[in-house]
Amino acid sequence: MTTPQSPRSDTRARIIDVALELFAEHGYEKTSLREIADRLGVTKAALYYHFKTKDDIVRGIVEKMAAPLDDAIAFGEGKDWSPELRDELLRRFAAGMGERAPLLRFFHENQPALRESAAGLAFKERMIKMITLLHGPEPTFRDKLRATVALTSMHSAMFLLKADLCGPGRESADSASVSADEAMEAALEVALEVAAHIEPPAH
């Protein structure tokens, strides 16, 4: 069903890339199909050859970019919960999403739009699945929250990265020189810290 018989055309893939970039940067609502089309050098109508609707582009984005998340979920599902599993899940999530930062940004910063979108909800389902895998069985609300917060640390790291650039004269010696990769590394560490507090039932 998801495996196409042919490369599905280059344009389709380019639309997805450009759309995600713009959605992450300017937001879903503020990004018009014309902008996407213009940046690709095609007409709006061309987009409609590849996608039935604007929301369908989101579906395309999710389908293409959520693979690492699905892999992590597949890896965790069925296995018994353990601190090691928990940490491995976070590592896989970080590895997969670190390179797909725009997707996370899009997800976190466009909830209102995504809430009304089938594709958006599908991605949210995955995030929630990931959360449940992280906190394991019989979680307290606190545990659920720790799992959730751990998953958001990546996005927070990006927020910080952008914020430091704009803020006037607030560049402490070290943080100004942090690269995106280093930021993601730090995000994983902090995520592990948070998750470490998750207390499994003492069976």
Partner DNA sequence: CATGAATGAGTCTTCATTCAT
Partner DNA sequence: GATGAATGAAGACTCATTCAT
HSE (side-chain half, CA atoms, 13 Å) at 81: 18
In 3-state terms, what secondary structure has residue 81? coil
Question: Over the Cα atoms of the chain, what is R_g?
Answer: 19
Name which position in 16, 20, 23, 50 contacts DNA (CB under 7 A): 50
Tokens in use for 75?
């890896």
Stretch that binds its own copies, among 13-21, 34-42, 84-92, 134-142 (CB under 8 A): 134-142
Name which position in 3, 5, 45, 177 contacts DNA (CB under 7 A): 45
Stretch that binds DNA, among 7-15, 91-99, 105-113, 122-130 (CB under 7 A): 7-15
Q: State the nearest-atom distance from the C-beta of 22 to DNA, in Å.
A: 10
Q: Would you say 12 or 108 has its CB closer to its own copies?
A: 108
Work out whether 138 is an interface residue with its own copies (CB under 8 A).
Answer: yes
Query: Which positions ≥6 away from 99 have C-beta within 8 Å?
Result: none
Work out whether 55 is an interface residue with DNA (CB under 7 A).
Answer: yes
Stretch that binds DNA, among 2-10, 111-119, 126-134, 163-171 (CB under 7 A): 2-10
Tokens in use for 88?
């491995």
Closest C-alpha among 60, 182, 194 to residue 131: 194
What whole-number distance in Å separates Cα of residue 16 and Cα of residue 57?
7
Residue 188 CB neighbour total at 10 angstroms: 21
Stretch that binds DNA, among 51-59, 71-79, 110-118, 142-150 (CB under 7 A): 51-59
Q: State the nearest-atom distance from the C-beta of 117 to DNA, in Å.
A: 11
What whole-number distance in Å separates Cα of residue 129 and Cα of residue 142?
17
Work out whether 11 is an interface residue with DNA (CB under 7 A).
Answer: yes
What whole-number distance in Å separates Cα of residue 20 and Cα of residue 40?
13
Q: State the nearest-atom distance from the C-beta of 13 to DNA, in Å.
A: 11
Fill in the per-residue mask, 157 to 186: x = in contact with its own copies (CB under 8 A), - = not in contact: x-xx--x---x--x-xxxx--x---xx--x
46 binds, among DNA, its own copies, none (CB under 5 to 8 A by kind): DNA
Tokens in use for 21?
């970039």
Q: Would you say 121 or 163 has its CB closer to DNA?
A: 121
Closest C-alpha among 131, 133, 161, 136 to residue 149: 131
